[in-house]
Amino acid sequence: MSDRKYWLMKSEPDVYSLDDLRTDEGQTTYWEGVRNYQARNMMRDDMRVGDGVLYYHSNAKPPGVAGLAEIVREGYPDFTSWDPEHHYFDPKSSEESPRWFMVDLRFVEQFADLVSLSELKEEADLDGLGVIRKGNRLSVQPVSAEHYDHIVAMGRAKGPVVTGKD
């Protein structure tokens, strides 16, 4: 049995899309700016190298899963919170006593078309998935292996995927 965990991580596509991750040097990025304690705790305590990520475009028309990423560096202090010039600055966070944490992600694949939130809601097999529950706004959420596999199959059924090797 694998210890691999699965996550859904939200990003607004006009801020940082899956395509941005795909085209960035090394196809990796640090996931800064999480300012919710529950999401922070998951990033700091639970995410491990190799965990799978459903990359979700939020605040988009339509919102949905754009593709896949993976965790390539486990939780470490979010240094953007220490920079007074940075959008995510927090005066209560410091190098000596960090309040916020981040992880690093690497691009895995981009679906030919988004698996939209409405499509996710229509799937009986996805009952209990956090992102479809009313009022669940967490930007980082755990996902069961079964839900992850089902959503990956839905995305791959939409046509050829773009991988990091393309």
Report the predicted TM-score, pTM, of the whole model to 2 decimal places.
0.95
Written as tens digits, the pLDDT of the chain (166 aa) is 469 999 999 999 999 999 999 999 899 999 999 999 999 999 999 999 999 999 999 999 999 999 999 999 999 999 999 999 999 999 999 999 999 999 999 999 999 999 999 999 999 999 999 999 988 888 999 999 999 999 999 999 999 999 976 5
Indicate the DSSP class of residue 42.
I
CATH topology of domain 6-163: ph1033 like fold (3.10.590)
- In one-letter notation, the amino acid at residue 107 is F
Domain ranges (residues) in the chain: 6-163
- The contacts of residue 36 (CB under 8 Å, 6+ apart) are 138, 139, 140
Residue with tokens 């940082």: 16
Give the pairing type, strands 101-116 and 28-30. Answer: antiparallel
Q: How far is CA 46 from the centre of its chain?
A: 14
